Amino acid sequence: VLVGAPLDLEGRGRVYRCRVGESSCHDAGVGACPTSTSDIVFLIDGSGSVAPFDFERMKTFITEVITRFRGTDTRLHVSFSDFDRLSEAALQRKVLRVEQQGGITQTATAIRYVLTDVFPRSRAGAHRVLLVVTDGQIYGDNLHYGDVIPEADRDGVIRYAIGVGSAFRSADAAQELHTIASPPSHAHVFRVDNFEALRGIQEQLQEKIFAIEGYATESLSVEGLQALALGAPRHRHVGRVLLFVLQHGTWQLHSDAVGRQVMGGRVGCGVGRWGPGLTSPPQVGSYFGAALCALEAVGDDAVLLVGAPMFYGDGAGGRVELCRVQTQGRTLQCHRTLRGQAGHPLGRFGASVARLGDTDGDGLQDVAVGAPMEDEQHGALYVFRGEKGGVSEHYSQRITGALFRSAPQHFGRALSGGRDVTGDGLPDVAVGAQGQLVLLRSPPLLAVDAALSFTPAVIRSWAAQCAEEERPSGAAAVSTAELCFVGTKRSHDRYGEPARPTQPRAAPQSPTLPRAAPQSPTLPRAAPQSPTLPRAAPRSRAVPPAGSSVGATLHLALQLDPGRAARAAFQSGDSTTNGTARVAVGRSCLHFPIVLTLPFERNCGEDNQCVPDLRVVLSFSGLQELVVGTTEELTVTITVHNAGEDAYGAHMELRHPGVLSYRKATVLQVPTGSGVPPHTAPPDALRTPDFPKIP
């Protein structure tokens, strides 16, 4: 892996070559780049017109800006040497010890002092930046701006003017700010109503002074022609992306796009005076075009992912636009947006974008997006799964730099993915951080289907020939539930068997369960979860050993009859059970003995609707009449005959006068398959057994 170190060699930069398995990186011998460092001086108004509490707010503003520029090759004058030597807390203490002098507003004299006494001590080759913060016009100064501004121009000092308060509402006062500022003055002047509002311009100020250095390029093809996308994030302060195609040996502009603006929860688009595809002005300072990534698929238009890391809105800092490259038309249609986790307004989501390759085995390209300023500048990496026509708008995984023991800062500031660096046949991604390179591996992927079956599924009616005294009240029986997992490789790697081509598979059907038995227990999801990328970089090449296989341990939680009264139980007597299963490529099964109620087989014709024809014949021991007091015993023989289809749950009641006392009931003949014992009833209502089936 080639790793850039832009702050090495006093800002000239260096490129390192890092090999997997080696503990350190070595200089790749690439020539250093020219310096792009910056030294900044704050000139704040300490005259008597500034209230003491507002002067304290200006100092707080400076300390917060110092925090923002930490980790960049930019120094603020406390003194320039102290900026490298002192900690952030020590620098803030030095700023807070600055005292207000009072007196008149001698802005021109103060600028002359900075030019002659401060900037001569800055670094050779560094950009010189002066920020002037004042609450009013120059007053009582022996010098004029015409005496000092030409000197600043000759010395190449970039000047920003920040006017605070109502004094600058007049045309003369506003013009003074434009005189102090570098041209074009509209890009170097800020106006706020009060000193408290200084906080609100920190983001814009940082973007203008430092932002994110460099421009993005991406190669792709359009209708078989070689194409090149170029990002210009500083174009007119809103950013622009231009797409060129190579025709007849000449690069020609094919289409372009600028950043979009959000208006009350909707996106302004169309054709308007603000530029291609816009009916409202794009957001200034969004840095649209800072990162580019092209996705190309057979039969589809190419999609260009464009990072706008400085965009502010929607509860997050930064976003990535999905722009469709169409064969016709001069405008890239940016139709969808990717966002990071809410709550990180300064996260710079979209500072880097890279293809990961197919990490989930669906045949589509997945994408990683860096957000190097999230989580208190630890940074984060987002994974978006590919889908037809681009990528999903919702991230499937977020990896924060705080997870790693090395505690990287600005994790995700640079990305390179889609290649197998570790030698296991799976795509890896290299993530740049401040002074660190983190290599993440994608694991092998196993798709798991689950199927559940019961043995036996039903009890045959002709098989139920229980003895009278053994007939239970229901058809309770011991069954066996078989839970099987079938694992199929989804990733093309060097583990185990050769990877099988990915083909669409129908969702598994629900297992056929006994009708009176519980519903399917809760099973593990068959669809694989998003691949877990963060794994420690290996010490040596990660080529899997011969015969190694892909497998995983699943944790199971099975429940019988979920949501209703349990009619079945596992061997332990509970309706729930937990366990683990080791799944791999192929079929593996678990068996669970279950005590449950199984239904009898139904025989009700082709329509499966039973229409019985029950007939009852009574015989009274041959007697024609009953003489109370004379006849000691009366035996009633009841014969039930079914001339129709099977009858389920049939019963009969025999009512007798209260002067008779009931003695007993005896079953003389049991219909085949009933499996139901007799039971007695109250004296006044003799109820025969419930017969689930009367053939």
Check residue 504 and give its pLDDT.
41
Check residue 41 and give its pLDDT.
87
Check residue 100 and give its pLDDT.
85
Asked if pLDDT for residue 647 goes beyond 70, the answer is yes
* 589 contacts 620 by C-beta, under 8 angstroms: no
Higher-pLDDT residue of 537 and 232 is 232
* 448 contacts 486 by C-beta, under 8 angstroms: yes
Check residue 490 and give its pLDDT.
81
Higher-pLDDT residue of 517 and 553 is 553
Check residue 137 and give its pLDDT.
85
Which two tokens mark 382? Answer: 């987002």
**Residue of 262, 318, 314 lying closest to 286 (CA atoms):** 318
The residue ranges of every structural domain in the chain are 1-27, 38-209, 216-263+282-442, 445-462+477-502+534-545+552-560+567-601, 611-648
Asked if pLDDT for residue 693 goes beyond 50, the answer is no
Higher-pLDDT residue of 593 and 472 is 593
Average pLDDT score over residue span 123-152: 86
**Residue of 257, 397, 414 lying closest to 351 (CA atoms):** 414
Average pLDDT score over residue span 275-303: 73
Check residue 353 and give its pLDDT.
95
pLDDT digits (tens, 9 = 90+) for 41-74: 888 888 888 888 888 888 887 777 777 665 555 5
Average pLDDT score over residue span 474-480: 62
Asked if pLDDT for residue 578 goes beyond 50, the answer is yes
Higher-pLDDT residue of 308 and 552 is 308
Contacts of 343 (CB under 8 A, 6+ apart): 315, 316
Sign of CA dihedral 264, 267, 270, 271: positive
Question: In terms of C-beta density within 10 A (0-12 exposed, 13-18 middle, 19 or more buried), how is residue 563 classed?
Answer: exposed
Contacts of 23 (CB under 8 A, 6+ apart): none
- Least confident range from 26-30, 53-57, 208-212, 315-319: namely 208-212
Element (H, E) at 328: none
Helix (H, G, I), strand (E, B) or coil at 548: coil
Higher-pLDDT residue of 167 and 326 is 326
Asked if pLDDT for residue 258 goes beyond 50, the answer is yes
Asked if pLDDT for residue 397 goes beyond 90, the answer is yes
Asked if pLDDT for residue 685 goes beyond 70, the answer is no
Asked if pLDDT for residue 293 goes beyond 90, the answer is yes
Contacts of 64 (CB under 8 A, 6+ apart): 199, 202
Check residue 14 and give its pLDDT.
78
Check residue 433 and give its pLDDT.
92
Helix (H, G, I), strand (E, B) or coil at 596: strand
Highest mean pLDDT among 270-274, 447-451, 581-585, 669-673: 447-451
Which two tokens mark 349? Answer: 């989501």
Question: How many Å apart are CA 169 and CA 191, to the nearest integer?
Answer: 9
Asked if pLDDT for residue 395 goes beyond 50, the answer is yes
Percent of the chain predicted with pLDDT > 70 = 71
Average pLDDT score over residue span 638-644: 87
Asked if pLDDT for residue 380 goes beyond 90, the answer is yes
Helix (H, G, I), strand (E, B) or coil at 387: strand
Q: Which residues pair with 593 in a beta bridge?
A: 480
- Determine what percent of the chain falls in helix, strand and coil, rounding each to the nearest 5: 15, 35, 50
Per DSSP, helices labelled H in 155-302 are: 171-180, 202-209
Higher-pLDDT residue of 152 and 64 is 152
The pLDDT confidence band at residue 599, using thresholds 50, 70 and 90, is: low
Asked if pLDDT for residue 529 goes beyond 70, the answer is no
* 409 contacts 420 by C-beta, under 8 angstroms: no
Fold classification of 38-209 (topology level): Rossmann fold (3.40.50)
Sign of CA dihedral 680, 686, 692, 695: positive
Asked if pLDDT for residue 262 goes beyond 50, the answer is no
Average pLDDT, the chain: 75
Which two tokens mark 57? Answer: 């707010």
* 32 contacts 67 by C-beta, under 8 angstroms: no
- Least confident range from 30-34, 342-346, 477-481, 583-587: namely 30-34
**Residue of 365, 352, 359, 354 lying closest to 417 (CA atoms):** 354
**Residue of 209, 218, 46, 33 lying closest to 127 (CA atoms):** 209
Average pLDDT score over residue span 253-272: 56
Alpha carbon separation from 67 to 205, 208, 376, 506 (Å, rounded): 13, 16, 11, 55
Average pLDDT score over residue span 360-384: 92
Asked if pLDDT for residue 595 goes beyond 70, the answer is yes
Average pLDDT score over residue span 434-450: 87
Tally of CB atoms within 10 A around 5: 16
Average pLDDT score over residue span 82-92: 65
The radius of gyration of the chain's CA atoms, rounded to the nearest angstrom, is 41
The pLDDT confidence band at residue 682, using thresholds 50, 70 and 90, is: very low
Percent of the chain predicted with pLDDT > 90 = 15
Helix (H, G, I), strand (E, B) or coil at 612: coil
pLDDT digits (tens, 9 = 90+) for 536-558: 333 334 455 544 567 788 888 88
**Residue of 536, 537, 432, 535 lying closest to 2 (CA atoms):** 432
Torsion of CA 146, 149, 155, 157, to 10 degrees: 180
Asked if pLDDT for residue 638 goes beyond 60, the answer is yes
Highest mean pLDDT among 14-18, 56-60, 106-110, 528-532: 106-110
Q: Which residues pair with 589 in a beta bridge?
A: 484
For β-strands 614-620 and 576-584, DSSP reports them as unpaired
Asked if pLDDT for residue 356 goes beyond 80, the answer is yes
- Least confident range from 22-31, 449-458, 510-519: namely 510-519
Question: How many Å apart are CA 372 and CA 382, to the nearest integer?
Answer: 11
Check residue 348 and give its pLDDT.
93
The pLDDT confidence band at residue 655, using thresholds 50, 70 and 90, is: confident
Check residue 68 and give its pLDDT.
65
The pLDDT confidence band at residue 354, using thresholds 50, 70 and 90, is: very high
pLDDT digits (tens, 9 = 90+) for 480-505: 888 888 888 887 777 765 444 444 43
Tally of CB atoms within 10 A around 120: 8
Backbone angles phi, psi at 272, to 5 degrees: -145, -175
Which superfamily is assigned to 216-263+282-442 in CATH? Integrin alpha, N-terminal (2.130.10.130)
Check residue 558 and give its pLDDT.
84
